[in-house]
Structure 1
Amino acid sequence: MRYLKFLSIVFIIFFGMAMSITVQADQIQLNAALSTPVMLADKKQTVFLRVGLTGLHLKKQNVAPINVVLVIDKSGSMGGEKIRRAKDAAIMAVERLRKDDIISVVTYDHQANILLPATKATDQNRIITAINKLRAGGQTALYDGVEKAAKEVRKFLDRKRVNRIVLVSDGLANVGPSTPKELGALGASLSEENIAVTTIGLGLGYNEDLMSQLAEKSDGNHAFAENATDLVRFFDHEFGDIFSVVAQEVNVTIIGVEGVRPIRVLGRDAEIQDQQVSVKLNQLYGGQEKYILLELEVPPTKANIERIIAGVAVVYRNLGADASERLSSMVSATFTNSPQLVEEKTNAVVMTAAVEQLAVEKNELAVKRRDEGKINEARKILIDNAKFLAEEAAKYESKSLEELSEKNKIDAQNLDERRWNRQRKMMRGEQYRYKKQQNY
């Protein structure tokens, strides 16, 4: 109710302003825009609302302290180059830490062990010495490893810190809870504590559904590292994100106005209740944009009328000021009898985002059909998807849609048994990146 009351005030203040609006606070820029800000009159129709949140660049002295746990699989399959590269990546991360940052290291094989309890990074040599003691051997108690990591994070859990678990694994979870649903539930519970989990799957032996669910439900990152040599690069990207967090506990509320009905949010989990939509983002990064894409149903409206379609309220924790802050906006549309004017005023940025998310859904369906053994059906879905993307790329002059079209063509060529394990991991990784607007 407090959001409804808050947005009612917003509508009174901003009524009659532009069809889309950009507002900015200390750490975040908010841009809310409709796919068709000019709509056909006297017709019930759907429209996409894109709510973009961009983190502003931080000055080095304003970077928040971090509280990170490295969780490293040391089961038998991690032997040789894999464990060596994992240690190299962990050491690179340690060398980037500052004295007030907190780090711990958890390892797991048939059970989880705390290699380095949560501690301030004041003695990097001691931490590096501990990491260098890692040896591989045993099975894969992944769930236990994440639970132990969560306990280490909680020792210094602080709203003023960036709280993160970074997990590396090359194998299937075969000790303890081991399904995507169970690991997703664990990720969701950690998200409630404002702890994000990033998962890096190494090689071709891990369960990509399990790893991506754990990351998705906690709003972390997910990556497929085909070769051990990729680990340092992915750790570098990951810690680049960690050291650029500008806001946490980001809660976005969108309310449809006067009969405008929310239908669904594409690519992200959301709670929809009547005309109100709620979405939580764990963290926002400086210099990066995350967006929420909402499909709305708009009732018939007479021509030559401008009406508010939805209001947006964002509440987040500003890490620099250690305080909660608000941003708000609203979007309106005008109505016309001219289809040509509707087309001319279509927002290409919003439509590109919508096409991407719809294409990802088709790509996910192709994976499902391939898992069912329906290779020809999966291939047709991908070929049709590539054609759809190419047409939309030309329509909206979008390089990103062209690239996604080419990726779907490649996906369609790699569905045979010999290549499917690798291809599936690549497809899951790409799906995750597009849905979450991941930077790497």
Structure 2
Amino acid sequence: MPTPRLSSLVSLVFTMSALLVTSGCTAKGEPRREAAASEPAQPEKSEAPVPGGLGWVMSSGSVQLEVLPQFEVLDRRSNTLDVHLLLRLRGMGEVVGERPPLDLAVVLDRSGSMAGEKLLAVKQATLDLLKELKPHDRLTLIAYDSEVEVLTEGLVADEAGLQTARKAVLAITDRGGTALGPALFRGFEAFDPQTRKEDELRHLLLLSDGQANEGEKDPLVLGQRARENFGRGVSVSTLGVGLDYNEELMTRLADQGGGRYHFIQGTDAISRVLSDEFAGLVATVASGIEVTMQMAPGVQVRQVYGYSWQETPQGASILVGSLAAQQVREIVVKLQVNFGTGATGQLALGTVDLRAKDQTQRGRAVEGKLALSAPTSADAEELRRSERTEVTVRVAEVESAAQMQAAALAVDGGDYDKAREVLKDSVHALEQQQKATPSPKLAKQLEELKAAESGLDAARQSAEQAKIYGKQSKAKAYKLAK
């Protein structure tokens, strides 16, 4: 008798909320009643059961979530098993009509190391960014060196406001040290919770070319502050310019803040990167996305690749951030399953909870819950046939990205032999996987790993080459994990 595919059991398509242009109905097809202004906004929940009774699905919406297992049948031949799940989120629909209002804070480094071409490029890119703002947007501009200067705060981006902002940008000059922490904190203060609108996107852009050396400098403390503000509806993206900034800090801020990290090696790329960041921001269909996993007894979350996560007593909380229209995010989660004595049949893994703000519905809070369970077997052939190779390929990608990151860290410490060993092992493992599950993605990743290995000789030649190698490798690993 053929083995039932787990895709019919735990593969979920969960659509959180109907697009304004396609539907005003709930999953049951009934007209949605718009809440009166005096009614408190309540999270919109999925209502219709997925076939099999293991989840819920809406008829249409702005976010789609699939949960896919690497193997659709769990191997109960041992007491402990590692289980990989792929959480695939997709921004649904297209951006139509006027985009949501934007409350934007731009926090710019103007320390002495920014003198000359860097500062000029940053000012030009910021002026270009101002052209994209609309009269319903608000703008905060902060420049920092050893001190923090608020150039504009909550400025309405109408014609007069933009003229004021342009003059402020043009007047920026380089000076002093790098009070990155205090500048970041001041940027967060500009987002007044008393004036927050549900449909408003709140985003902070932080740019730096150096090490934080004034005020709070601890990446853990700064990252935690970014996470706290994510919980208040503020996302953070970071732009590291050149070779001397702290990428651990910049990546942590972006991950904890639910935004993106960018490595900008040359000044000619600053305008392009800022433009790309803004384009993704204004195309947002869902923001503040957070996934919480509540595991069943005997099941633990061991690792979440590429995304900021925190262990909870029952599982894990994963910060996703936002989704633009048609954007896809793939998150690999590794679970450890401890089988109880005599465990057979269907095994409950736990639940996945999803929360977000639907920007196609004026920032309406939406949420849903999905229950996961899987059949178990001791039959080797049945287990082999249950593999979902698309998940296997993604697992190999994120694991090799982690190895690329490890090799870059070894180069930072001057241990080139360790870096080469890590990369050789990763290349070998990926070559074996490519033979088992041929994929263009794995072929591309193999090229990246081999290029990283061959680049070690150049990195040995000078401190500058070592910095270039480290920044480039970490940026590639970061993007691959996303």
With normalisation by structure 2, the TM-score equals 0.80
Equivalent in 317, 320, 330 of residue 281 of structure 1: 320
Paired amino acid for 1:309: L
Paired amino acid for 1:106: I
Equivalent in 138, 142, 150 of residue 176 of structure 2: 138
Matches within 5 A, 1:328-339: 328-339=369-380
Larger deviation, residues 291-300 vs 76-85: 291-300
Does the C-alpha gap of structure 1 residues 315 and 94 become closer, same or farther in structure 2, counting only changes over 3 Å? same
- Distance in 2, matches of 1:205 and 1:273, equals 35
Q: Does structure 1 conserve the Cα–Cα contact (< 8 Å) formed by 2:238 and 2:260?
A: yes
- Distance in 2, matches of 1:251 and 1:185, equals 16
Q: Does structure 1 conserve the Cα–Cα contact (< 8 Å) formed by 2:231 and 2:288?
A: no
Q: Does structure 1 conserve the Cα–Cα contact (< 8 Å) formed by 2:100 and 2:201?
A: yes
Q: Does structure 2 conserve the Cα–Cα contact (< 8 Å) formed by 1:21 and 1:32?
A: no
Q: Does structure 1 conserve the Cα–Cα contact (< 8 Å) formed by 2:290 and 2:354?
A: yes
Report what 1:220 is aligned to. 259
Instruction: Please state which structure has a larger fraction of its residues in helix.
Output: 1
Offset of 1:78 from its aligned partner? 1.5
The superposition leaves residues 300-326 of structure 1 with CA deviations (integer Å, 9 ceiling, x where unpaired) of 798994444343221222223232222
Q: Does structure 1 conserve the Cα–Cα contact (< 8 Å) formed by 2:345 and 2:376?
A: yes
- Distance in 2, matches of 1:181 and 1:254, equals 23
The runs of 5 or more residues in structure 1 that have no matched partner are: 1-8
Does the C-alpha gap of structure 1 residues 215 and 278 become closer, same or farther in structure 2, counting only changes over 3 Å? closer
Offset of 1:266 from its aligned partner? 2.8
Q: Does structure 2 conserve the Cα–Cα contact (< 8 Å) formed by 1:303 and 1:337?
A: no
Report what 1:403 is aligned to. 444
Structure 1 runs (4+) greater than 6 angstroms displaced? 20-24, 300-304
- Distance in 2, matches of 1:112 and 1:303, equals 61
Offset of 1:22 from its aligned partner? 7.7
Report what 1:5 is aligned to. none
- Distance in 1, matches of 2:105 and 2:392, equals 39
Report what 1:427 is aligned to. 473
Q: Does structure 2 conserve the Cα–Cα contact (< 8 Å) formed by 1:118 and 1:152?
A: yes
- Distance in 2, matches of 1:276 and 1:56, equals 28
- Distance in 2, matches of 1:255 and 1:120, equals 43
Paired amino acid for 2:205: V
Does the C-alpha gap of structure 1 residues 320 and 282 become closer, same or farther in structure 2, counting only changes over 3 Å? same
Equivalent in 349, 370, 375 of residue 309 of structure 1: 349
The higher relative CO (CA closer than 8 Å, separation ≥ 6) is in 1
Matches within 5 A, 1:275-424: 275-298=314-337, 299=339, 305-321=345-361, 322-412=363-453, 413-414=455-456, 415-418=459-462, 419-424=465-470
With normalisation by structure 1, the TM-score equals 0.87
Q: Does structure 2 conserve the Cα–Cα contact (< 8 Å) formed by 1:248 and 1:316?
A: yes
- Distance in 2, matches of 1:395 and 1:265, equals 24
Offset of 1:131 from its aligned partner? 1.7
- Is 2:88 the counterpart of 1:52? yes
Offset of 1:346 from its aligned partner? 1.1
Identical pairs, percent? 22
- Distance in 1, matches of 2:125 and 2:435, equals 41
- Is 2:104 the counterpart of 1:68? yes
Q: Does structure 1 conserve the Cα–Cα contact (< 8 Å) formed by 2:301 and 2:336?
A: yes
Report what 1:206 is aligned to. 245
Does the C-alpha gap of structure 1 residues 132 and 364 become closer, same or farther in structure 2, counting only changes over 3 Å? same
Helix, strand or coil at the partner of 1:219: coil
- Distance in 1, matches of 2:311 and 2:475, equals 27
- Distance in 1, matches of 2:59 and 2:412, equals 45
- Distance in 1, matches of 2:426 and 2:122, equals 37
- Distance in 2, matches of 1:172 and 1:163, equals 26
Larger deviation, residues 135-144 vs 329-338: 329-338
Report what 1:3 is aligned to. none
Report what 1:4 is aligned to. none
Larger deviation, residues 266-275 vs 353-362: 266-275
Offset of 1:352 from its aligned partner? 2.1
Aligned CA-pair RMSD = 2.9
Does the C-alpha gap of structure 1 residues 175 and 254 become closer, same or farther in structure 2, counting only changes over 3 Å? closer
Does the C-alpha gap of structure 1 residues 205 and 297 become closer, same or farther in structure 2, counting only changes over 3 Å? closer
- Distance in 2, matches of 1:397 and 1:356, equals 13
Larger deviation, residues 347-356 vs 222-231: 347-356
Larger deviation, residues 317-326 vs 30-39: 317-326
- Distance in 2, matches of 1:200 and 1:404, equals 25
Offset of 1:176 from its aligned partner? 1.9
Q: Does structure 2 conserve the Cα–Cα contact (< 8 Å) formed by 1:306 and 1:334?
A: yes
Does the C-alpha gap of structure 1 residues 259 and 431 become closer, same or farther in structure 2, counting only changes over 3 Å? same
- Distance in 1, matches of 2:279 and 2:95, equals 14
Equivalent in 246, 249, 273 of residue 285 of structure 2: 246
The runs of 5 or more residues in structure 2 that have no matched partner are: 1-44
Report what 2:61 is aligned to. 26
Paired amino acid for 1:344: R
Helix, strand or coil at the partner of 1:320: helix
Offset of 1:355 from its aligned partner? 1.7
Offset of 1:244 from its aligned partner? 1.7
Report what 2:73 is aligned to. 38
Does the C-alpha gap of structure 1 residues 300 and 359 become closer, same or farther in structure 2, counting only changes over 3 Å? farther
Does the C-alpha gap of structure 1 residues 240 and 395 become closer, same or farther in structure 2, counting only changes over 3 Å? farther
Paired amino acid for 2:460: D
Does the C-alpha gap of structure 1 residues 24 and 407 become closer, same or farther in structure 2, counting only changes over 3 Å? farther
Offset of 1:394 from its aligned partner? 3.6
- Distance in 1, matches of 2:97 and 2:475, equals 33
Q: Does structure 1 conserve the Cα–Cα contact (< 8 Å) formed by 2:111 and 2:175?
A: yes
- Distance in 1, matches of 2:470 and 2:58, equals 40
The superposition leaves residues 359-416 of structure 1 with CA deviations (integer Å, 9 ceiling, x where unpaired) of 2322232233333332101111012112222332343322222222222222222341
Aligned residues: 427
Larger deviation, residues 411-420 vs 197-206: 411-420
Report what 2:276 is aligned to. 237
